[in-house]
Structure 1
Amino acid sequence: MNTQHFDPKQFRQALGAFTTGVTIVTTRGADGQDYGLTANSFNSVSIDPPMVLWSINKNSSSARAFTEGSHFAVHILATDQEPLSNRFAKSAADKFSGLDLQRGTRDIPLLDGCSARFQCKTTYQYEGGDHIILVGEVLAFDRFDKAPLVFHSGGYRRLLPVAADNNLWQQPDAVASAR
């Protein structure tokens, strides 16, 4: 198949059929400035050793800070953090202005109010087309009892539990009769 004939807009829409979590990734640049951006490319890699990955567009204004930096933090956003996601999704002079920050390993900025957050040491970087894939070893993490913000088909969503009577996988007789 020749992928050069893909319509980028249609390809992006097809990718949008996959629901993802919403994260903000932060780092402290060599220049002493804080950098952060909204990303939905986050994924787990390994439990032992604990590793995660995410990717950044090579043309991002903060790409250099992340690729040259040794540490980063991934914040899995909670449902009430949509405004924060939007703030970090845009180019701005100081995305951190007015935020109450904590500091993690190597002084990386840590945001409050998330569902979970991971402090990582960058261990690998890979070329990935127009992105760079960063793999980090998790040095510390926090988990909070908050529902995550998710992204699907170009918009934010919230998770709802599946009603027990609609879950065919937990009702063996219903599964058998559906075959």
Structure 2
Amino acid sequence: MARVPGPVVVATTVDESGRRWGFTASSFVSLSLAPPLVTVSLGKKASTHAAFTVADHFMVNVLAHDQSDIARRFATSGVDRFAAGDTLPLERGLPGIPEAAVRLVCRMHEVADGGDHSMLIGRVLDCITCTDREALVYVDRGFARTAVPEATRVR
């Protein structure tokens, strides 16, 4: 599966005590257009698992090509992932990355079993396109830029 490119996202939420939670994922896909659903997978052993599986809302920040440092930080255990100050309270008070390529605000629709992962299925409430920058992708165990020539982009 390492050969299959995936968008790099940082999912964020806030628990009932106000604590912020976040993780990096490359297992993010659109699931349905009607209703608008997306899914992002989270390992069941992750430190963020309990917070996300009971969350009412979460945000998916689709990272831009120059945000691999943010992806690495949110993938690292035992650090304050929010200490850099590049994540701010944005839509619906959720922690968001203002310079992300896209932000999706989701209401938790369902948490589905996916083996050693849980699939967080969110109903998209808001979609904010922040930039025209290329998205960051993960392929062959490394970060890359999308390579879509301007002339062939579908708009």
Residue 163 and residue 83 in structure 1: after superposition, are their counterparts in 2 closer, same or farther (change >3 A)? closer
Residue in 1 aligned with 2:24? 38
Aligned partner of residue 83 in structure 1, secondary structure = helix
What is the rounded CA distance, in whole Å, between the counterparts of 1:72 and 1:112 in structure 2?
15
Residue in 2 aligned with 1:149? 136
In the alignment, is residue 54 of structure 1 matched against residue 40 of structure 2?
yes
1:131-166 CA distances to partner (integer Å, 9 max, x unpaired)? 1111110110111211001111101111223698xx
Q: TM-score if structure 2 supplies the norm length?
A: 0.90
In the alignment, is residue 140 of structure 1 matched against residue 126 of structure 2?
yes
Aligned partner of residue 67 in structure 2, secondary structure = helix
What is the rounded CA distance, in whole Å, between the counterparts of 1:16 and 1:94 in structure 2?
28
RMSD: 1.8
Indicate which of 74, 78, 100 corresponds to 1:114.
100
Q: Which has the larger radius of gyration?
A: 1
* Structure whose residues are more often helix by fraction: 1
What is the rounded CA distance, in whole Å, between the counterparts of 2:148 and 2:79 in structure 1?
39
Kindly indicate whether structure 1 or structure 2 has the higher relative contact order, using CA contacts under 8 Å at least 6 residues apart: 2
Aligned partner of residue 65 in structure 1, secondary structure = helix
Q: Structure 2: give runs of 5+ residues left out of the alignment.
A: none
What is the rounded CA distance, in whole Å, between the counterparts of 2:104 and 2:150 in structure 1?
31
* Structure whose residues are more often strand by fraction: 2
1:101-149 CA distances to partner (integer Å, 9 max, x unpaired)? 13322x2211111111100000111111101111110110111211001
1:2-24 CA distances to partner (integer Å, 9 max, x unpaired)? xxxxxxxxxxxxx1110111000
1:42-72 CA distances to partner (integer Å, 9 max, x unpaired)? 1001112111111110000010000011110
Residue in 2 aligned with 1:78? 64
Indicate which of 138, 153, 159 corresponds to 2:146.
159
Counterpart residue type for residue 157 of structure 1: A
Aligned partner of residue 111 in structure 2, secondary structure = strand
Counterpart residue type for residue 128 of structure 1: G
Q: Number of matched residues?
A: 150
Identity %: 35
Counterpart residue type for residue 149 of structure 1: L
What is the rounded CA distance, in whole Å, between the counterparts of 1:87 and 1:48 in structure 2?
34
Aligned partner of residue 36 in structure 1, secondary structure = strand
